[in-house]
C-alpha cells in the first residue's frame, strides 16, 4: 500500500505539466510557480496523512480557488490564450474530500454551492444523486435538491420527484412536509404570475382529484406540471394553448398543496401544531387567488379535529384578518371581530398568552404598516392594541420583545421590526438589547 508521501507525489506529478505551461506563457513567474508547488506539496502531505480532517481539504480548496482567480485575472490582463486545468482541480479536490469524508454534510453542501455558482448543471445532478444515496434520511438534502431544480432549472417534475422520494425516507419530518407544500405553492404562484403577464387570467374551478400511481407516493391531482411545459423561466416562446388549458386545472386552485396538507395530517395523526404551521406557511402567499380557499380548508380541518385548541384560535384570528386592506370600508368591523377572537382566546388559554400575544403583535404590525394613510381612528385602534399585546407578550424586562424584533428582521420584515422597537422603548427602554437595536436604527 502506498504511503502518504507516495500519494502526495502522485497527485503533485499530475499538476507539473500545467505549472510548466503557466510559466512558459509568463502567466506566473518562476518564483510564483515554486510557491504554488510548495503549497500544494504541503497540502497533499496533510490530507494524505492519517488524522486529516475535512477542514484540511477546505483550506486546500480555498487555496486553489485563489490560484484560479489570480490565473484568470492574469490571462485577461495579458491577453494570452490558455486552456489549463481551470476549475477541474477544485472539482477534483471536492470529489476526493467527499469520498474520504462522505458523512460530512457541510462538505457536501459547500461542494453543491460551488457547483451551483459555477453553473455546472450536469455535475450538480451527479452530486445530488450521490449525496441522496449516502444520506437518504437527511431532509435538508432532499429539500436542497428540490429547490435547486425548481429555482435554477424551473423543473417541477424533478423537484417534485426529490420531495416525494425524500418523504419515503423522512416521513416523520415536519420540515420536509412543509417544504414540499411550500414548493407546490410557489409553483402555483409561478404559473399564475406567468398567466397574468400574458393576460390569460380567467375564472377557473376545481376538478375532483383521483388516486393513482405508486401507493407510497402522495396522490396528486391529474393535471400537474407534467401536462404542460414546466420551463417557465425559458425565453424560447410560450405555449399559450397549454396555459389556457390550465384555467380549469387543479394546479391553479391549490389542489396540489392541499393534497400534501391532507397527506401530512394523516402522517402526523391530525396534530393541531403541525396544521397551524401549514396555515402560517400558506398565509405567506396571500397574494395568490387560491390561498383563501387553502387557508379556509386548513381552518375547517382544525375546527373539526381540534376545535378547542389554541392553534385553532390562532388560525381563526389570522383568517379573519388575512388579506384585509385597512383602506377598505369592511376593514373596521373585520378588525373588531379579529380582536374579539384573540381576546377570547387569551381568556380560554391562559397558559398560551405569550404565544397568542406574539401572533397578535405580528399581525398588528403588518396592518399598522399598511394603514399609514388610512382613517386616523383605525390607526389609533391599531396603535393602542399593539401596545396592549406587546405588554402581554413581555411582562418582564423586554427580552421577548427584543427576540421578536430580531426575528422580524431576519424574516425580511425590517419596517415591522423597527416599528416594534420604537413603540417598545418607552416601556422597555432599560433593556440593553433593545437599546442596541434602537441605536442601530439610524445607522
Q: Give every CB contact of residue 98 below 8 A, 6+ residues apart in sequence.
A: 104, 107, 108, 111, 130, 131
The answer to whether 309 and 272 are in contact (CB under 8 A) is yes
Q: What's the average model confidence in pLDDT over 345-371?
A: 91
What distance in Å separates the CA atoms of residue 332 and residue 362, rounded to the nearest whole number?
A: 18
* 12-52 confidence digits (pLDDT tens): 888 888 888 888 888 889 999 999 999 999 999 999 988 89
* 71-86 confidence digits (pLDDT tens): 889 888 888 877 666 6
169, pLDDT greater than 90: yes
pTM of the predicted model over 0.75: yes
194, pLDDT greater than 90: no
Give the pLDDT of residue 225. Answer: 40
Q: Give every CB contact of residue 203 below 8 A, 6+ residues apart in sequence.
A: 247
CA diameter of the chain:
83
204, pLDDT greater than 70: no
Of residues 232 and 100, more confidently modeled: 100
207, pLDDT greater than 60: no
- Cα 181 to Cα 59, 226, 249, 286, 350: the distances in Å are 38, 18, 18, 15, 32
Per-position DSSP letters for 42-70, written without gaps between them: HHHHHHHSTT--HHHHHHHHHHHHHHHHH
What distance in Å separates the CA atoms of residue 415 and residue 426, rounded to the nearest whole number?
A: 19
Write down the mean pLDDT value for the chain. Answer: 85
Of residues 244 and 386, more confidently modeled: 386
Q: What's the average model confidence in pLDDT over 97-101?
A: 94
Q: Is 240 helix (H, G, I), strand (E, B) or coil?
A: helix
- Cα 326 to Cα 282, 303, 330, 332: the distances in Å are 21, 27, 8, 8
Give the pLDDT of residue 201. Answer: 61
Give the pLDDT of residue 164. Answer: 95
378, pLDDT greater than 70: yes
* 215-264 confidence digits (pLDDT tens): 455 555 544 444 334 444 444 444 555 555 555 566 778 899 999 999 99
Q: What's the average model confidence in pLDDT over 163-191?
A: 94
211, pLDDT greater than 70: no
Spans of all domains in the chain: 1-135, 142-268, 401-443
Q: What's the average model confidence in pLDDT over 317-337?
A: 88
434, pLDDT greater than 60: yes
Amino acid at each position: 500500500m502506498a504511503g502518504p508521501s507516495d500519494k502526495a507525489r502522485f497527485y503533485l506529478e499530475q499538476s507539473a505539466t500545467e505549472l510548466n505551461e503557466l510559466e512558459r506563457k509568463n502567466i506566473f513567474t518562476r518564483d510564483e510557480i515554486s510557491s504554488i508547488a510548495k503549497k500544494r506539496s504541503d497540502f497533499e502531505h496533510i490530507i494524505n496523512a492519517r488524522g486529516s480532517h475535512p477542514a484540511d481539504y477546505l483550506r486546500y480548496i480555498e487555496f486553489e480557488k485563489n490560484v484560479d482567480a489570480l490565473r484568470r485575472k492574469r490571462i485577461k490582463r495579458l491577453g494570452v490564450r490558455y486552456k489549463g486545468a481551470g476549475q477541474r482541480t477544485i472539482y477534483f479536490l471536492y470529489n476526493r474530500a467527499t469520498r474520504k469524508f462522505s458523512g460530512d454534510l457541510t462538505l457536501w453542501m459547500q461542494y453543491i454551492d460551488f457547483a451551483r455558482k459555477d453553473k455546472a448543471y450536469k455535475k450538480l445532478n451527479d452530486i445530488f444523486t450521490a449525496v441522496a444515496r449516502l444520506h437518504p434520511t437527511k431532509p435538508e438534502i432532499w429539500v436542497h435538491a428540490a429547490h435547486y431544480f425548481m429555482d435554477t432549472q424551473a423543473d417541477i417534475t424533478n423537484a417534485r420527484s426529490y420531495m416525494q422520494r425524500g418523504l419515503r425516507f423522512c416521513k416523520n419530518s415536519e420540515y420536509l412536509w412543509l417544504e414540499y407544500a411550500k414548493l407546490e405553492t410557489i409553483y402555483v404562484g409561478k404559473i399564475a404570475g406567468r398567466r397574468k403577464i400574458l393576460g390569460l387570467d380567467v375564472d377557473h374551478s376545481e376538478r375532483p382529484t383521483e388516486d393513482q400511481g405508486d401507493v407510497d407516493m402522495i396522490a396528486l391531482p391529474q393535471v400537474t406540471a407534467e401536462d404542460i411545459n414546466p420551463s417557465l423561466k425559458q425565453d424560447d416562446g410560450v405555449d399559450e394553448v397549454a396555459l389556457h388549458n390550465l384555467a380549469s386545472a387543479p394546479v391553479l386552485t391549490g389542489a396540489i398543496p392541499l393534497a400534501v396538507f391532507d397527506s401530512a395530517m394523516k402522517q402526523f395523526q391530525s396534530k393541531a401544531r403541525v396544521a397551524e404551521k401549514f396555515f402560517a406557511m400558506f398565509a405567506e402567499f396571500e397574494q395568490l387567488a387560491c390561498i383563501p380557499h387553502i387557508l379556509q380548508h386548513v381552518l375547517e380541518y382544525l375546527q373539526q379535529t381540534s376545535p378547542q385548541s389554541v392553534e385553532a384560535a390562532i388560525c381563526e384570528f389570522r383568517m379573519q384578518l388575512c388579506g384585509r386592506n385597512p383602506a377598505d370600508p369592511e376593514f373596521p368591523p373585520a378588525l373588531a371581530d379579529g380582536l374579539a377572537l384573540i381576546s377570547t382566546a387569551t381568556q380560554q388559554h391562559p397558559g398560551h398568552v405569550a404565544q397568542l400575544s406574539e401572533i397578535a403583535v405580528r399581525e398588528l404590525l403588518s396592518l399598522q404598516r399598511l394603514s399609514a394613510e388610512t382613517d386616523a381612528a383605525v390607526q389609533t385602534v391599531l396603535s393602542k392594541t399593539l401596545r396592549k399585546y406587546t405588554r402581554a407578550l413581555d411582562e418582564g424586562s423586554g427580552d421577548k420583545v427584543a427576540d421578536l424584533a430580531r426575528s422580524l428582521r431576519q424574516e425580511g420584515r425590517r419596517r415591522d421590526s423597527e416599528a416594534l422597537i420604537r413603540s417598545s422603548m418607552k416601556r422597555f427602554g432599560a433593556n440593553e438589547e433593545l437599546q442596541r437595536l434602537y441605536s442601530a436604527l439610524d445607522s
